[in-house]
Structure 1
Amino acid sequence: MTKSCVMSEARAIPVEPATAFHRTLVTPLPGLFRRRYGPIAPVTAVTGQVGEWGTVGQTRTVTQAGGGSMHEKLTLVDPPRVFGYTLSGITGPLAPLVDHIEGTWSFSPVGTGTEVVWRWEVYPKSSVAGVLMPVFARLWRGFARQSLEVLSDELVRT
Protein backbone atom coordinates (compact mmCIF):
# COMPACT_ATOMS: atom_id res chain seq x y z
CA MET A 1 0.00 0.00 0.00
CA THR A 2 1.30 3.45 -0.94
CA LYS A 3 1.70 5.89 1.93
CA SER A 4 -0.57 8.93 2.02
CA CYS A 5 0.77 12.47 1.89
CA VAL A 6 -0.58 15.13 4.24
CA MET A 7 -0.57 18.78 3.22
CA SER A 8 -2.14 21.78 4.90
CA GLU A 9 -2.28 25.56 4.87
CA ALA A 10 -3.67 27.99 7.44
CA ARG A 11 -4.72 31.61 7.60
CA ALA A 12 -6.00 33.84 10.39
CA ILE A 13 -9.19 35.62 9.36
CA PRO A 14 -10.78 38.40 11.47
CA VAL A 15 -14.25 36.86 11.86
CA GLU A 16 -15.82 34.68 14.56
CA PRO A 17 -15.29 30.90 14.25
CA ALA A 18 -19.01 30.16 13.80
CA THR A 19 -19.21 32.69 10.96
CA ALA A 20 -16.06 31.35 9.31
CA PHE A 21 -17.30 27.76 9.63
CA HIS A 22 -20.77 28.28 8.20
CA ARG A 23 -19.82 30.64 5.40
CA THR A 24 -16.89 28.45 4.30
CA LEU A 25 -19.09 25.35 4.30
CA VAL A 26 -21.67 26.91 1.96
CA THR A 27 -19.40 29.07 -0.22
CA PRO A 28 -19.83 28.14 -3.90
CA LEU A 29 -16.67 26.30 -4.99
CA PRO A 30 -16.32 28.05 -8.40
CA GLY A 31 -15.98 31.36 -6.54
CA LEU A 32 -13.56 30.08 -3.92
CA PHE A 33 -11.34 28.07 -6.28
CA ARG A 34 -11.58 30.38 -9.28
CA ARG A 35 -7.86 30.86 -9.96
CA ARG A 36 -5.41 28.45 -11.56
CA TYR A 37 -2.18 27.76 -9.71
CA GLY A 38 0.36 26.26 -12.08
CA PRO A 39 -1.11 22.95 -13.26
CA ILE A 40 -3.90 22.98 -10.65
CA ALA A 41 -7.02 24.05 -12.51
CA PRO A 42 -9.82 26.19 -11.10
CA VAL A 43 -13.25 24.76 -10.30
CA THR A 44 -15.75 25.64 -13.01
CA ALA A 45 -18.93 23.88 -11.84
CA VAL A 46 -20.59 21.83 -9.13
CA THR A 47 -23.42 19.49 -10.12
CA GLY A 48 -25.62 16.92 -8.44
CA GLN A 49 -25.83 18.73 -5.11
CA VAL A 50 -29.26 18.61 -3.49
CA GLY A 51 -30.01 21.45 -1.07
CA GLU A 52 -27.54 23.58 0.85
CA TRP A 53 -24.22 21.82 1.46
CA GLY A 54 -23.97 20.82 5.11
CA THR A 55 -25.36 17.34 5.81
CA VAL A 56 -23.10 14.32 6.29
CA GLY A 57 -23.60 11.93 3.39
CA GLN A 58 -24.37 14.61 0.79
CA THR A 59 -22.57 14.20 -2.52
CA ARG A 60 -21.80 16.33 -5.54
CA THR A 61 -19.55 16.37 -8.60
CA VAL A 62 -16.86 19.03 -8.84
CA THR A 63 -15.65 19.94 -12.35
CA GLN A 64 -12.39 21.72 -13.10
CA ALA A 65 -11.23 23.70 -16.12
CA GLY A 66 -9.63 21.36 -18.61
CA GLY A 67 -12.15 18.59 -18.05
CA GLY A 68 -11.07 17.10 -14.73
CA SER A 69 -13.71 16.14 -12.19
CA MET A 70 -14.14 14.43 -8.84
CA HIS A 71 -16.90 13.07 -6.67
CA GLU A 72 -17.17 14.82 -3.30
CA LYS A 73 -18.88 13.30 -0.27
CA LEU A 74 -19.37 15.25 2.96
CA THR A 75 -18.14 12.96 5.77
CA LEU A 76 -18.02 15.17 8.88
CA VAL A 77 -19.86 18.26 10.07
CA ASP A 78 -19.05 19.45 13.61
CA PRO A 79 -19.97 23.15 13.86
CA PRO A 80 -18.20 25.44 14.44
CA ARG A 81 -14.99 23.41 14.61
CA VAL A 82 -14.54 21.22 11.52
CA PHE A 83 -16.06 19.73 8.42
CA GLY A 84 -14.59 16.98 6.28
CA TYR A 85 -15.07 15.35 2.92
CA THR A 86 -13.70 12.70 0.60
CA LEU A 87 -12.82 13.30 -3.04
CA SER A 88 -12.87 10.17 -5.21
CA GLY A 89 -13.53 9.16 -8.81
CA ILE A 90 -10.89 11.64 -9.89
CA THR A 91 -10.57 12.24 -13.64
CA GLY A 92 -8.38 14.54 -15.71
CA PRO A 93 -4.75 15.48 -14.99
CA LEU A 94 -4.82 14.26 -11.37
CA ALA A 95 -6.21 10.84 -12.25
CA PRO A 96 -2.84 9.11 -12.80
CA LEU A 97 -1.52 10.48 -9.49
CA VAL A 98 -4.38 10.40 -6.99
CA ASP A 99 -6.63 7.57 -5.86
CA HIS A 100 -8.61 9.65 -3.38
CA ILE A 101 -8.31 12.58 -0.98
CA GLU A 102 -9.61 13.09 2.55
CA GLY A 103 -9.99 16.79 3.23
CA THR A 104 -10.88 18.87 6.27
CA TRP A 105 -11.48 22.50 7.05
CA SER A 106 -11.00 23.38 10.72
CA PHE A 107 -11.74 26.60 12.59
CA SER A 108 -10.14 27.67 15.88
CA PRO A 109 -10.33 30.96 17.79
CA VAL A 110 -7.11 32.97 17.46
CA GLY A 111 -6.59 36.56 18.58
CA THR A 112 -9.58 38.56 17.37
CA GLY A 113 -10.65 36.04 14.75
CA THR A 114 -10.32 32.49 13.50
CA GLU A 115 -7.48 30.33 12.30
CA VAL A 116 -8.77 28.46 9.27
CA VAL A 117 -6.80 25.32 8.40
CA TRP A 118 -7.39 23.49 5.13
CA ARG A 119 -5.87 19.99 5.18
CA TRP A 120 -5.65 17.29 2.53
CA GLU A 121 -4.53 13.72 3.01
CA VAL A 122 -3.78 12.50 -0.50
CA TYR A 123 -3.67 8.78 -1.27
CA PRO A 124 -1.49 8.23 -4.34
CA LYS A 125 -2.64 5.86 -7.04
CA SER A 126 0.69 3.99 -7.12
CA SER A 127 4.15 3.92 -5.59
CA VAL A 128 5.42 5.91 -8.59
CA ALA A 129 2.74 8.55 -7.96
CA GLY A 130 3.77 8.53 -4.30
CA VAL A 131 7.28 9.61 -5.28
CA LEU A 132 5.73 12.68 -6.97
CA MET A 133 3.66 13.70 -3.94
CA PRO A 134 6.23 16.18 -2.50
CA VAL A 135 6.13 18.13 -5.79
CA PHE A 136 2.34 18.00 -5.88
CA ALA A 137 2.21 19.08 -2.20
CA ARG A 138 4.33 22.17 -2.96
CA LEU A 139 1.97 23.13 -5.79
CA TRP A 140 -1.13 22.40 -3.70
CA ARG A 141 0.12 24.62 -0.85
CA GLY A 142 0.40 27.52 -3.32
CA PHE A 143 -3.12 26.81 -4.57
CA ALA A 144 -4.36 26.59 -0.97
CA ARG A 145 -2.69 29.89 0.02
CA GLN A 146 -4.34 31.73 -2.84
CA SER A 147 -7.71 30.08 -2.09
CA LEU A 148 -7.48 31.02 1.60
CA GLU A 149 -6.77 34.59 0.51
CA VAL A 150 -9.95 34.57 -1.60
CA LEU A 151 -11.88 33.06 1.33
CA SER A 152 -10.55 35.72 3.70
CA ASP A 153 -11.61 38.50 1.32
CA GLU A 154 -15.10 36.96 1.06
CA LEU A 155 -15.53 36.49 4.81
CA VAL A 156 -14.45 39.99 5.84
CA ARG A 157 -16.33 41.70 2.99
CA THR A 158 -19.78 41.23 4.53
Structure 2
Amino acid sequence: MTIHVAESRTVAVPLEAAYDRTLAVPLTDIFGHRHLAMPSIVRVDDQRGEWGEAVGQTRTIRTSDRGSLTETLTELARPHRFGYRIDQIRGPMRPLVHHLDGAWAFAEDGSGTRITWSWEITPSSTLTVPLVALIGRMWHGYARQALASLDAILTG
Protein backbone atom coordinates (compact mmCIF):
# COMPACT_ATOMS: atom_id res chain seq x y z
CA MET A 1 0.00 0.00 0.00
CA THR A 2 1.23 3.47 -0.86
CA ILE A 3 -0.06 6.81 0.33
CA HIS A 4 -0.37 9.51 -2.35
CA VAL A 5 -0.10 13.23 -1.55
CA ALA A 6 0.08 16.18 -3.94
CA GLU A 7 -0.06 19.97 -3.90
CA SER A 8 -0.08 22.46 -6.78
CA ARG A 9 0.53 26.15 -7.35
CA THR A 10 0.46 28.31 -10.46
CA VAL A 11 3.45 30.60 -10.93
CA ALA A 12 3.85 33.52 -13.34
CA VAL A 13 6.76 31.93 -15.21
CA PRO A 14 6.81 30.23 -18.65
CA LEU A 15 6.78 26.41 -18.70
CA GLU A 16 10.38 25.69 -19.73
CA ALA A 17 11.81 28.33 -17.38
CA ALA A 18 9.76 26.95 -14.47
CA TYR A 19 11.04 23.42 -15.13
CA ASP A 20 14.69 24.38 -15.62
CA ARG A 21 14.86 26.76 -12.68
CA THR A 22 13.01 24.41 -10.29
CA LEU A 23 15.42 21.59 -11.08
CA ALA A 24 18.40 23.91 -10.46
CA VAL A 25 17.27 25.60 -7.20
CA PRO A 26 19.20 24.39 -4.13
CA LEU A 27 16.94 22.25 -1.91
CA THR A 28 17.88 24.35 1.11
CA ASP A 29 16.29 27.37 -0.58
CA ILE A 30 12.96 25.60 -1.17
CA PHE A 31 12.86 23.47 1.98
CA GLY A 32 14.60 25.71 4.51
CA HIS A 33 11.60 25.52 6.85
CA ARG A 34 10.12 22.84 9.05
CA HIS A 35 6.39 22.16 9.28
CA LEU A 36 5.12 20.19 12.28
CA ALA A 37 7.09 16.91 12.15
CA MET A 38 8.47 17.59 8.66
CA PRO A 39 12.10 18.75 9.04
CA SER A 40 13.89 21.40 7.02
CA ILE A 41 16.73 20.49 4.68
CA VAL A 42 20.02 21.79 6.04
CA ARG A 43 22.43 20.63 3.34
CA VAL A 44 23.00 18.34 0.38
CA ASP A 45 26.08 16.13 0.07
CA ASP A 46 27.56 13.77 -2.52
CA GLN A 47 26.04 15.48 -5.56
CA ARG A 48 28.21 15.32 -8.67
CA GLY A 49 27.64 17.95 -11.32
CA GLU A 50 24.49 19.99 -11.88
CA TRP A 51 21.34 18.29 -10.58
CA GLY A 52 19.25 16.99 -13.45
CA GLU A 53 22.05 15.98 -15.81
CA ALA A 54 20.96 12.33 -16.03
CA VAL A 55 18.57 9.73 -14.70
CA GLY A 56 20.38 7.75 -12.00
CA GLN A 57 22.11 10.78 -10.51
CA THR A 58 22.16 10.64 -6.68
CA ARG A 59 22.71 12.91 -3.71
CA THR A 60 22.39 12.73 0.07
CA ILE A 61 19.91 15.07 1.75
CA ARG A 62 20.60 16.09 5.37
CA THR A 63 17.66 17.24 7.50
CA SER A 64 17.30 19.37 10.63
CA ASP A 65 16.23 16.34 12.69
CA ARG A 66 19.67 14.77 12.02
CA GLY A 67 18.20 12.50 9.40
CA SER A 68 19.57 11.68 5.98
CA LEU A 69 17.99 10.41 2.79
CA THR A 70 19.35 9.29 -0.55
CA GLU A 71 17.67 10.89 -3.56
CA THR A 72 17.98 9.26 -6.98
CA LEU A 73 16.64 10.84 -10.16
CA THR A 74 14.31 8.37 -11.87
CA GLU A 75 12.79 10.49 -14.64
CA LEU A 76 13.69 13.58 -16.65
CA ALA A 77 10.99 14.60 -19.14
CA ARG A 78 11.78 18.25 -19.88
CA PRO A 79 9.77 20.48 -19.63
CA HIS A 80 6.87 18.50 -18.16
CA ARG A 81 8.13 16.33 -15.33
CA PHE A 82 11.03 15.04 -13.29
CA GLY A 83 10.86 12.23 -10.76
CA TYR A 84 12.99 10.80 -8.01
CA ARG A 85 13.13 8.10 -5.36
CA ILE A 86 14.02 8.74 -1.72
CA ASP A 87 15.41 5.73 0.14
CA GLN A 88 18.20 4.79 2.54
CA ILE A 89 16.26 6.79 5.10
CA ARG A 90 18.05 7.51 8.38
CA GLY A 91 16.61 9.33 11.37
CA PRO A 92 13.09 9.53 12.81
CA MET A 93 11.35 8.50 9.56
CA ARG A 94 13.35 5.29 9.17
CA PRO A 95 11.01 2.97 11.13
CA LEU A 96 7.98 4.36 9.30
CA VAL A 97 8.85 4.82 5.63
CA HIS A 98 10.52 2.24 3.38
CA HIS A 99 10.87 4.65 0.45
CA LEU A 100 8.97 7.30 -1.44
CA ASP A 101 8.66 8.22 -5.07
CA GLY A 102 8.36 11.93 -5.74
CA ALA A 103 7.66 14.00 -8.82
CA TRP A 104 7.48 17.59 -9.93
CA ALA A 105 5.07 18.12 -12.83
CA PHE A 106 4.73 21.27 -14.94
CA ALA A 107 1.81 22.29 -17.17
CA GLU A 108 0.94 25.51 -18.95
CA ASP A 109 -1.76 27.40 -17.07
CA GLY A 110 -2.87 30.62 -18.72
CA SER A 111 0.19 32.85 -18.97
CA GLY A 112 2.05 30.87 -16.29
CA THR A 113 2.84 27.34 -15.22
CA ARG A 114 1.04 25.04 -12.82
CA ILE A 115 3.60 23.18 -10.70
CA THR A 116 2.47 20.02 -8.92
CA TRP A 117 4.68 18.30 -6.36
CA SER A 118 3.66 14.78 -5.35
CA TRP A 119 4.84 11.87 -3.23
CA GLU A 120 3.91 8.18 -3.27
CA ILE A 121 4.95 7.06 0.22
CA THR A 122 5.57 3.35 0.83
CA PRO A 123 5.29 2.51 4.55
CA SER A 124 7.85 0.15 6.06
CA SER A 125 5.07 -2.24 7.15
CA THR A 126 1.30 -2.47 7.43
CA LEU A 127 1.67 -1.53 11.10
CA THR A 128 3.10 1.89 10.20
CA VAL A 129 0.36 2.82 7.69
CA PRO A 130 -1.65 4.95 10.19
CA LEU A 131 1.44 6.95 11.18
CA VAL A 132 2.52 7.37 7.57
CA ALA A 133 -1.00 8.60 6.74
CA LEU A 134 -0.55 11.22 9.47
CA ILE A 135 2.78 12.24 7.94
CA GLY A 136 0.97 12.55 4.62
CA ARG A 137 -1.53 14.96 6.14
CA MET A 138 1.30 17.06 7.64
CA TRP A 139 3.09 16.99 4.29
CA HIS A 140 0.38 19.17 2.69
CA GLY A 141 1.33 22.18 4.84
CA TYR A 142 5.02 21.51 4.20
CA ALA A 143 4.38 21.34 0.47
CA ARG A 144 2.34 24.55 0.42
CA GLN A 145 5.23 26.36 2.18
CA ALA A 146 7.74 24.85 -0.27
CA LEU A 147 5.67 25.86 -3.30
CA ALA A 148 5.31 29.40 -1.91
CA SER A 149 9.11 29.57 -1.44
CA LEU A 150 9.63 28.26 -4.97
CA ASP A 151 7.16 30.81 -6.36
CA ALA A 152 9.11 33.63 -4.67
CA ILE A 153 12.40 32.30 -6.07
CA LEU A 154 11.07 31.85 -9.61
CA THR A 155 9.34 35.23 -9.79
CA GLY A 156 11.77 37.25 -7.65
| TM-score, with structure 1 as normaliser | 0.96
Residue 134 of structure 1, CA deviation = 2.5
| TM-score, with structure 2 as normaliser | 0.97
Aligned mate of 1:44, from 38, 42, 45: 42
* 2:67/2:89 contact within 8 Å kept: yes
Measured in 2, the distance between the counterparts of 1:7 and 1:128 equals 20
Q: Counterpart of 1:35 in 2: which secondary structure?
A: coil
What do the CA deviations read for 1:97-145 (whole angstroms, capped 9, x no partner)? Answer: 1000000000000011000000000000011111223211110010000
* Coordinate RMSD, CA, aligned: 0.7
Letter in structure 2 aligned against 1:34? G
Equivalences for 1:34-73 in 2 at 5 Å? 34-54=32-52, 55-73=54-72
* Unmatched runs of 5 consecutive residues or more in structure 1: none
Answer yes or no: is 1:117 the counterpart of 2:116. yes
Measured in 1, the distance between the counterparts of 2:73 and 2:133 equals 26
Report the counterpart of residue 108 of structure 1 in structure 2.
107
Measured in 2, the distance between the counterparts of 1:156 and 1:64 equals 26
Measured in 1, the distance between the counterparts of 2:133 and 2:73 equals 26
Identity of matched residues, %: 39
What do the CA deviations read for 1:10-41 (whole angstroms, capped 9, x no partner)? Answer: 00001001011011111100111000101111
Answer yes or no: is 1:8 the counterpart of 2:27. no
Q: Counterpart of 1:52 in 2: which secondary structure?
A: coil
* 2:104/2:118 contact within 8 Å kept: yes
Equivalences for 1:129-148 in 2 at 5 Å? 129-148=128-147
